[in-house]
Amino acid sequence: MDPYAPINGISLERYAELGAEIDGITDPAEQTAKVGTLGVSPADWDAACKGWTARMQDMRLMGQVATRYMQLYNQALAAKKGVAKTSFEDYCTVSAAISVFGAEGALNHYKLSQGDWTTISAHWTTELSRDPMNLAVRRNQLQEQETARLRSGGAPRPIQVQRTAGGQPPAGGAAAFDPNAAMAASMQASQANQQQWMAYSAGVINQPGVQAAVQMAGAMNMMGGGSPLIVGRRVLVQWNDGNRYPATIIQVNGPQMQVVFPNGQNMWVEARFLTPA
């Protein structure tokens, strides 16, 4: 089966556009009503939601559908609503609030929609991938400090959010979200260069000193009620053949994590398929 075949007439591109249309609407009935005004029946919307979610979670597809959806969703959000931006410090502040109060509670407090947080995260996860050693360690430190402060009874810190008008380039930059760039990256030479860079980055991250710091940060995060699965952490990936394969986390986006294997190959995997090495 073609993993990108439309579901009840709704392609992945259309599903991403509809996701942008309902951003900020949290009630399922209201979401169904909204897409109904756009010509999508309740039955088709229900089938599309279930079907595309299943494909994004299908381990056999190696995260390809989920990665493509995130690209399309960010493009749709930028075209419709513009892009929400925060400083790196404020990004860490909201991340800490989410780990303490949950996504819904934290985003409601900061008056951020899921789409807002998606575009903010897309920008900073792209930056983290460009500097996985320094920026990731700084992020872990800032987030751990704020998490500890909140858990001790501190009030959430204020943040500043900048918003651009609709029609802006998607968050993360053209290289990360431009379909033409993605297609070019799939060419054999680009893949080789990417794998070489990923292998080098993984080698840097896996140096004993760096891993000691990452494992300590992960342990502190877990003590505060968070996850030990943070950027830079070495993990074992549960594969559908029953084996576990070593990899290193280089990006985190909610329950989805991008890992790189020793040979430089990388993919997005759900956190439930990962265990700390």
Sign of CA dihedral 74, 76, 81, 82: positive
Higher pLDDT, 123 or 196: 123
pLDDT of 78 strictly over 50: yes
| 151, 208: one domain | no
What predicted TM-score, i.e. pTM, was given to this entire model?
Answer: 0.57
Q: How far apart are CA 46 and CA 168, in angstroms?
A: 30
Task: Judge whether 170 and 78 are in contact, CB under 8 Å.
Answer: yes
Q: Which residue range forms the structural domain that includes residue 218?
A: 194-277
Q: Assign 89 a pLDDT band (cuts: 50, 70, 90).
A: very high
Does 118 fall in a domain? Answer: no
| 142, 266: one domain | no
94: left (phi over 0), alpha (psi -120 to 50) or beta: alpha
pLDDT tens per residue across span 20-30: 999 989 899 99
Does 117 fall in a domain? Answer: no
| 145, 259: one domain | no
SS percent in the chain: helix, strand, coil, step 5:
60, 10, 30
Residue 218 pLDDT: 52
In a 3-state reduction of DSSP, which class is residue 258? strand
Task: Judge whether 237 and 274 are in contact, CB under 8 Å.
Answer: yes
| 232, 209: one domain | yes
Cβ contacts of 229 within 8 Å, gap of 6 or more: 218, 235, 249, 252, 257, 271, 274, 276
Q: What is the mean predicted confidence (pLDDT) over 44-71?
A: 85
| 78, 10: one domain | yes
Q: What is the mean predicted confidence (pLDDT) over 155-160?
A: 95
Q: How far apart are CA 185 and CA 122, in angstroms?
A: 18
Number of structural domains (the chain) is 3
pLDDT tens per residue across span 237-255: 888 777 888 888 877 877 8
